[in-house]
Amino acid sequence: MAISSPERRVWWNEPVERLELIWIAVALLWGLFMFFFMIAWHFIGGQNLSSEAYRVVPSAYQEKVDAFAEKYTVGDESGTPIVRPPAGVDVYLLGRLWQWWPVLQLEKGQSYRLHLSSVDWQHGFSLQPTNINIQVHPGYEHIITLTPTEAGEFGIICNEFCGIGHHTMTGKIIVVDSKAEAK
Amino acid sequence: MTTFEGVVAATRGRTANFRTCQFTGLKVDIAAQRLIIANAVAAVVFLAIGGLMGLMVALTRWPAVHLLPAEWFYLILTAHGANVLLYWIIFFEIAVLYFASAVLLNSRLAAPKLGWLGFILMVAGAVITNVAVLQGESTVMFTSYPPMMARPHFYLGIILFAVGALIGCGLFFATLMIARAERTYEGSIPLVTFGALTAAIIAVFTLVSGAIILIPTMLWSMGLIRDIDPLMYKLVWWAMGHSSQQINVSAHVSVWYMIAALLLGAKPLSEKVSRGAFFLYILFLQLASAHHLLAEPGISSEWKIVNTSYMMYLAVLGSMIHGLTVPGSIEAAQRRNGFNRGVFEWLRKAPWGNPAFAGMFLSLVMFGFIGGISGVVLGTEQLNVLMHNTIYVPGHFHGTVVAGTTLAFMAGTYLVLPLIFQRDIIWPRLARIQPYLFGLGAAGISMFMMGAGTLGVARRHWDINFTDAVIGFQHSPGAFLMMGMNGISAILAALGGILYVLIVVGTALFGKKIVAGHKMTFPLHSSANVVSKYGSEGHIKLPGTIVLVTIFFLSFVLYYFVNWKYLSDLWLFR
């Protein structure tokens, strides 16, 4: 039994049942498939998280976000500026206790280089209801080339615990369809 | 072999006191028995504390109930993680290690006094961390990610606990050496001991990783170190945090094999395959830290893919092998026991009324279907972005650690009570339903949290209504339904948990003492003490197991591709 020593001293020479061999082969091949599918998705898929990141001093990041917001502010939502950058430029989003700042207005189908960082603790960028979730660290500036594929208002919530106000930390991305507006 | 002989000689001062078990014929060192009892009792105490905290967390996350205020919610959630994930499970695992070495090998336990030192360190550490959390200035969650800082004694408690557990592992290794030197068994160690050895080796890696990261973090909290890099912290902390879950896997797979052997007379289908599967754990499971770094900045895809897949899924292969060989060995044993009709008579006529078997088989099925499949999907490089830090993550690990490990350990307890505590189980009717009640609740909390996470609900979050947020957000009605169902499931699991604690405490204190000739309420298999029935199972047809693993494999493939479909619908990012 499994609680007593193997019957034969040399158990590693015993033949293995065919059922076990088949299952091992199936499981091994499935594992290899899943492994290579991750690699393949980098070539065939449209959703791969960028590894482009830089070390940044939090106060320096704050200045960049402020300059960006000042340049492109078009409105205001409950005290947070709504920022509409032209298509294709670098876009900055800041996580801090307890808001995502500023509100971004993007165009459907256009690509933006989205910079993400925090000036205090770790935060979790969670775009809803789309469900894109990315960790945000202080001291690291993560750059993702993002292309919204649907128009509408999207919430950003925080899904990394960041203290007593964690559940009040929200933000927003508004995606407009300029072609639809033109019609 | 000087160290070898040294260890044996150094512990030779003690004359061990043995009794012979009337059910299994094993020689039990009384010193080992006392340590097993102490660790098991401590485990159950922390399960009771941590489990009730878990119930409070789930009731707070049920929007219609919303039990605790925010401050208390985050505090209790921090303590819940430490008490159940670390203290309950590792105390029980230390008991398993002493059992699998001293008892199964008919050996004396090495240095029981050191075992008591380890035990005291573990208890002290667990109490210190709990005090730190309850004092209110260490609400940093169990993971304590910097730059969020806890008080120094929060880290100190975990470090002391880890040192105590390391001593336990050391005693396990030393006992193996003594048993070998004193020839208390013939040939190789039993499969269950081999699995426990796997767990102990991974435990050393894990506990040392914990010390490597928590000692500097404690010094940082004391103001002696200026800065802890948050990414580096995550890499090393999860070498403890995730790899320690692989201790659980090795330990509970060993418990599965042990229960199947004692209740049904099951042998491994093949010693070579089952041991090979454990060996794959030793080689590859430690790469799992990567599962927590898939959504982080600045880590290359090459590193993520190799590590997150445990080097081409070779550790997943190990678990899939056990997924065949455990039910396979049960089917083979049952067919030998005479239940040979049709495809599933062996399963229908299994001892479902015995809580040890029921808990073990539910644990096997739920660990595979709920915890296992969701874990692979969650740990796929690109798919992770769909669920990272959503409540899907706790859904997954409640499938592995609650429905899998905790239920397996509960099942094991129904054997530890008569065999080690030597008390017969009280309230057999309630004991019979306990694993089903707890299992149903555990399955519910896992699946409903996974469902809510798929709909975007965040983990570790007090208010899914975002009432006080400046910019509001509304989750879909489905998310609220899922969180409500999660609350109901948590009540079921808590009832099962309370029942378990009452049965264990009641049996330990008031259960009928087992004396010579006693008939157990939940009897062992008649061959449990026949030493000649060991070795591999040999040729036998296993149609039922083939059906079970086919269903498992198809579910796995289907769920995997459904998630790729979800991913392909997201916005584009690169």
Residue of A117, A102, A118 whose CA lies nearest to A173: A102
Q: Kindly state the percentage of chain A with pLDDT values over 70.
A: 98
| CB nearest to A47's CB, from B141, B382, B471 | B382
* Phi and psi torsions of A132, nearest 5°: -110, 125
Each residue of A29-48: pLDDT tens digit? 999 999 999 999 999 999 99
- Best probe of the A interface among B258, B306, B574, by most A CBs < 10 A, is B574
Do B573 and A132 make contact, defined as CB atoms within 8 angstroms?
Answer: yes
The three-class DSSP label of residue A100 is strand
Tell me the two tokens of residue B146.
Answer: 């910097």
User: Which residues 6+ apart lie within 8 Å of B246 measured at CB?
Assistant: B202, B206, B281, B285, B286, B288, B315
pLDDT band with cut points at 50, 70 and 90 for residue A173: very high
Which residue on chain A is closest to B323 by alpha carbon?
Answer: A23
Which residue on chain A is closest to B311 by alpha carbon?
Answer: A35
Each residue of B274-288: pLDDT tens digit? 999 999 999 988 888
pTM (2 d.p.): 0.95
**H-type helices in B388-542, by residue range?**
392-400, 407-416, 428-454, 477-510
Which H or E run contains B189?
Answer: none
Which residue on chain A is closest to B193 by alpha carbon?
Answer: A3
Give B 426-485 residues with CB within 8 A of chain A: 454-456, 458-463, 466, 468-476
Give the DSSP per-residue string, A9-63: S-GGGSPPPHHHHHHHHHHHHHHHHHHHHHHHHHHH-SB-----EEE--HHHHHH
Which residue on chain B is closest to A127 by alpha carbon?
Answer: B456
| B252 near A CB under 8 A | no
Q: Where are the beta strands (DSSP E) in B169-210?
A: none
Tell me the two tokens of residue B184.
Answer: 């208390």
Res A183 pLDDT > 70:
no
> Taking the CB of residue B533, how many other CB atoms lie within 10 A of it?
17
Q: What pLDDT score was predicted for residue B2?
A: 47
ipTM of this complex prediction, to 2 decimal places? 0.96
Q: What pLDDT score was predicted for residue B79?
A: 97
Do A20 and B329 make contact, defined as CB atoms within 8 angstroms?
Answer: no
The three-class DSSP label of residue B363 is helix
Residue at token pair 């615990």: A161
Residues in A closer than 8 angstroms to B271, CB to CB, are 6, 11-12, 14
Q: What pLDDT score was predicted for residue B535?
A: 46
Do B471 and A162 make contact, defined as CB atoms within 8 angstroms?
Answer: no
Q: Kindly state the percentage of chain B with pLDDT values over 90.
A: 87
Residues in B closer than 8 angstroms to A138, CB to CB, are 147, 230
Q: What pLDDT score was predicted for residue B5?
A: 61
Res A182 pLDDT > 70:
no
Say how far apart CA A142 and CA A166 lie, in whole Å: 21
> Taking the CB of residue B517, how many other CB atoms lie within 10 A of it?
6
Say how far apart CA B362 and CA B436 lie, in whole Å: 8
Do A38 and B320 make contact, defined as CB atoms within 8 angstroms?
Answer: no
Number of cross-chain residue pairs from A and B with Cβ atoms under 8 Å apart: 321
Burial of B67 (0-12, 13-18, 19+ CB in 10 A): middle
The three-class DSSP label of residue B544 is helix
Each residue of B325-349: pLDDT tens digit? 999 999 999 998 899 999 999 999 9
Do A121 and B147 make contact, defined as CB atoms within 8 angstroms?
Answer: yes
Res A22 pLDDT > 70:
yes
Residue of A115, A54, A55, A53 whose CA lies nearest to A83: A115
| B235 near A CB under 8 A | no
The three-class DSSP label of residue A172 is strand
> Taking the CB of residue B174, how many other CB atoms lie within 10 A of it?
20
Say how far apart CA B392 and CA B451 lie, in whole Å: 7
Q: Kindly state the percentage of chain B with pLDDT values over 70.
A: 95
Q: What pLDDT score was predicted for residue B532?
A: 36
Res A97 pLDDT > 90:
yes
Give B 322-361 residues with CB within 8 A of chain A: 324-325, 328-329
The three-class DSSP label of residue B462 is coil
Q: What pLDDT score was predicted for residue B91?
A: 97
Q: Label each residue of B318-356 as H, E or C.
A: HHHHHHHHHHHHHHHHHHHCCCCCCCCHHHHCCCCCCHH
Each of the 574 residues of chain B gets a pLDDT tens digit; together they read: 445 565 566 666 667 899 999 998 899 999 999 999 999 999 999 999 999 999 999 999 999 999 999 999 999 999 999 999 999 999 999 999 999 999 999 999 999 999 999 999 999 999 999 999 999 999 999 999 999 999 999 999 999 999 999 999 999 999 999 999 999 998 899 999 999 999 999 999 999 999 999 999 999 999 999 999 999 999 999 999 998 888 999 999 999 999 999 999 898 888 999 999 999 999 988 888 899 999 999 999 999 999 999 888 999 999 999 999 999 999 999 998 899 999 999 999 999 999 999 999 999 999 999 999 999 999 999 999 999 999 999 999 999 999 999 999 999 999 999 999 999 999 999 999 999 999 999 999 999 999 999 999 999 999 999 999 999 999 999 999 999 999 999 999 999 999 999 999 999 999 999 988 888 999 888 765 544 344 455 557 899 999 999 999 999 999 999 999 999 999 999 9
Residue of A111, A119, A140, A154 whose CA lies nearest to B293: A140
Q: Where are the beta strands (DSSP E) in B38-143?
A: none
Give B 32-91 residues with CB within 8 A of chain A: 70-71, 74
User: Which residues 6+ apart lie within 8 Å of B401 measured at CB?
Assistant: B84, B85, B89, B245, B248, B371
Give the DSSP per-residue string, B153-180: HHHHHHHHHHHHHHHHHHHHHHHHHHHH
| B492 near A CB under 8 A | no
Each residue of B260-271: pLDDT tens digit? 999 998 988 889
| B1 near A CB under 8 A | no
| CB nearest to B191's CB, from A2, A51, A53 | A2
Say how far apart CA B63 and CA B449 lie, in whole Å: 14
Q: What pLDDT score was predicted for residue A165?
A: 96
Q: What pLDDT score was predicted for residue B4?
A: 59
Q: What pLDDT score was predicted for residue B359?
A: 98
